[in-house]
């Protein structure tokens, strides 16, 4: 039986090879997975032209996934460094990579990323439009916007952020309800500017059916972007954000009618006490579609440490239903991230995702922690390093500060509670001042 997309296959009762891969990874019965894909509650972003892909699922009942943003800008255009970041991100077990390149001809870099990456690949085509056509924003036509989308789809991109929800209605709500930070979404601000400069409707909203035809043709998952995400705690959960989310819910249903998979992108800067409500609102208004959150960043005053503010918000968001975390690095709000910034962002996001998976009862999540606890009880340092989320850093710390008693560490030495409890429980003497018998 033929099918056009993973959703189409799922509706027809077909088990694809990607579904089998994801079901095995997630310890989920494959027909349960298929049913949730048919309902739109799980997506498997898998472009037909991304032949190096190792499929992952995003959505209800699955492990929380993380995304890594990278790509060149006008000020930082070292393609080889960005490719090194791609390889490092894959080695550090990121499930997704978004190429956010926003300068020059991005095609070469995008194709190389798709070629080498088993992780799913995302892009924001509007970033590419200005450079692709070498035209100012105002002069780009709706057909040209759609052609860039099709170009990215043809190149093998698995999911695309499209800011279709910032239509004239949403813009009117924004104008009536002033914000401290206006728009902080790069793609959303570009589309809003295009609409204002041309006095026209958002082309991705007006010609949404044509966009869906492209997505269905290549099986591109539509990641409906949040142009109105708050960039300040003062703007969180405001009328603009909620109005756009309502529109995204309507667009979700239209996409599902065409068998196009959908994710919803969510809030940026949100105080702790509003995160759970934001997750509930998204799931309600967008009919259970997977939620891809940017942060949330829980305080505005920690530049240089926003990987931490984001991990705090991400853990709470995912524990309350978010499915996909976009990592944030220490360089957020400050510069294009370095390789080391990227590494710190990945680790922080993976910690947040795993902590949430424990809270959600994801199969196999807490067992990893139990294995670590057993290795700690056994004072099996090698096993601890092997189980560590980041093996490199704990090995480095251990090597830099070796204790007199190799079973302990330099914090407690022979007063180590684990060492001494093991001895007592085994009926042995506890020697702290003298060597063991």
176 labelled ligand-binding: no
98 labelled ligand-binding: yes
Q: Is the pLDDT of residue 437 over 60?
A: no
Q: Is the pLDDT of residue 1 over 80?
A: no
The pLDDT assigned to 73 comes to: 82
pLDDT, tens digit, 9 for 90 and up, residues 20-68: 999 999 999 999 999 999 999 999 999 999 999 999 999 999 999 999 9
417 labelled ligand-binding: no
205 labelled ligand-binding: no
76 labelled ligand-binding: no
Domain span(s) for CATH 3.20.20.540 in the chain: 44-360
215 labelled ligand-binding: no
Structure tokens at 268: 């940026």
The pLDDT assigned to 140 comes to: 96
Q: Is the pLDDT of residue 72 over 90?
A: no
52 labelled ligand-binding: no
- Three-state SS for the chain is CCCCCHHHHHHCCCCCHHHHHHHHHHCCCHHHHHHHHHCCCEECCCCCCCCCCCCCCEECCCCCEEEEEECCCCCCCCHHHHHHHHHHHHHCCCCEEEECCCCCCCHHHHHHHHHHCCCEEEECHHHHHHHHHCCCHHHCCHHHHHHHHHHHHHCCCCEEEECCCCCHHHHHHHHHCCCCCCCCCHHHHHHHHHHHHHCCCCHHHHCHHHHHHHHHHHCCEEEECCCCCCCCHHHCCCHHHHHHHHHHHHHHHHHHHCCCCEEEECCCECCHHHHHHHHHHHHHHCCCCCEEEECCECCCCCCCCHHHHHHHHHHHHHHCCCCEEECCCCCCCCCCCCHHHHHHHHHHHHHHHHHHHHHHCCCCHHHHHHHHHHHHHCCCHHHHHHHCCCCHHHHHHHHHCCCCCCCCCCCCHHHCHHHHHHHHHCCCCCCCCCCCC
415 labelled ligand-binding: no
23 labelled ligand-binding: no
pLDDT category at 77 given cuts 50, 70, 90 is confident
* Mean pLDDT lowest among 106-110, 180-184, 206-210, 320-324: 106-110
4 labelled ligand-binding: no
pTM of the model: 0.95
419 labelled ligand-binding: no
pLDDT, tens digit, 9 for 90 and up, residues 222-248: 999 999 999 999 999 999 999 999 999
pLDDT, tens digit, 9 for 90 and up, residues 352-403: 999 999 999 999 999 999 999 999 999 999 999 999 999 999 999 999 999 9
Name the CATH topology of 44-360: TIM Barrel (3.20.20)
% of the chain surpassing 70 pLDDT: 99
228 labelled ligand-binding: yes
398 labelled ligand-binding: no
How, if at all, do strands 159-162 and 42-43 pair?
A: unpaired
150 labelled ligand-binding: no
């Amino acid at each position: 039986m033929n099918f056009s997309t993973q959703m189409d296959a799922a509706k027809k009762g077909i088990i694809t090879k990607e579904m089998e891969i994801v079901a095995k990874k997630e310890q989920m019965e494959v027909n349960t997975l298929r049913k949730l894909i048919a309902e739109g509650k799980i997506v498997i972003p898998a472009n037909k032209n991304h032949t190096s892909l190792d499929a992952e699922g995003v959505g209800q009942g699955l492990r929380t996934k993380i995304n890594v943003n990278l790509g060149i800008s006008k000020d930082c255009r070292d393609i080889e460094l960005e490719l090194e970041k791609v390889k490092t991100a894959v080695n550090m077990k990121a499930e997704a990579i978004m190429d956010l390149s926003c300068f020059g001809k991005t095609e070469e870099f995008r194709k190389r990323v798709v070629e080498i990456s088993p992780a799913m690949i995302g892009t924001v085509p509007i970033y590419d439009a200005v450079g692709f056509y070498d035209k100012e924003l105002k002069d780009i036509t709706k057909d040209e916007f759609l052609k860039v989308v099709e170009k990215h789809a043809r190149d093998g991109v698995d999911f695309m952020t499209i800011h279709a929800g910032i239509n004239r209605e949403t813009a009117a709500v924004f104008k009536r309800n002033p914000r401290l930070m206006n728009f902080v979404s790069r793609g959303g601000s570009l589309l809003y500017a295009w609409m204002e400069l041309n006095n026209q409707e958002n082309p991705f909203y007006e010609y949404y059916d044509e966009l869906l035809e492209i997505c269905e043709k290549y099986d591109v998952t539509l990641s409906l972007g949040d142009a109105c995400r708050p960039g300040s705690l003062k703007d969180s959960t405001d009328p603009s954000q909620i109005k756009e989310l309502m529109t995204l819910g309507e667009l979700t249903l239209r996409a599902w009618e065409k068998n196009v998979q959908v994710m919803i992108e969510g809030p940026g800067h949100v105080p702790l006490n509003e995160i759970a409500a934001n997750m509930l609102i998204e799931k309600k208004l967008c009919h259970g579609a997977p939620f891809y959150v940017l942060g949330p960043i829980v305080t505005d005053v920690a530049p240089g440490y926003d990987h931490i503010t984001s991990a705090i918000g991400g853990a709470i968001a995912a524990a309350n239903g978010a499915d996909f975390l976009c990592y944030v690095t220490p360089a957020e709000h400050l510069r294009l991230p370095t390789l080391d910034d990227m590494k710190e962002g990945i680790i922080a996001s993976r910690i947040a995702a795993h902590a949430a998976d424990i809270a959600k009862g994801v199969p196999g999540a807490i067992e990893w922690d139990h294995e670590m606890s057993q290795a700690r009880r056994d004072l099996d340092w090698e096993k601890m390093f092997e189980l560590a989320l980041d093996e490199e850093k704990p090995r480095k710390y251990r090597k830099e500060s070796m204790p007199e008693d190799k079973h302990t560490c330099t914090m407690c030495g022979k007063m180590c509670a684990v060492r001494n409890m093991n001895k007592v429980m085994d009926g042995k003497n506890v020697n702290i001042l003298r060597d063991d018998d």
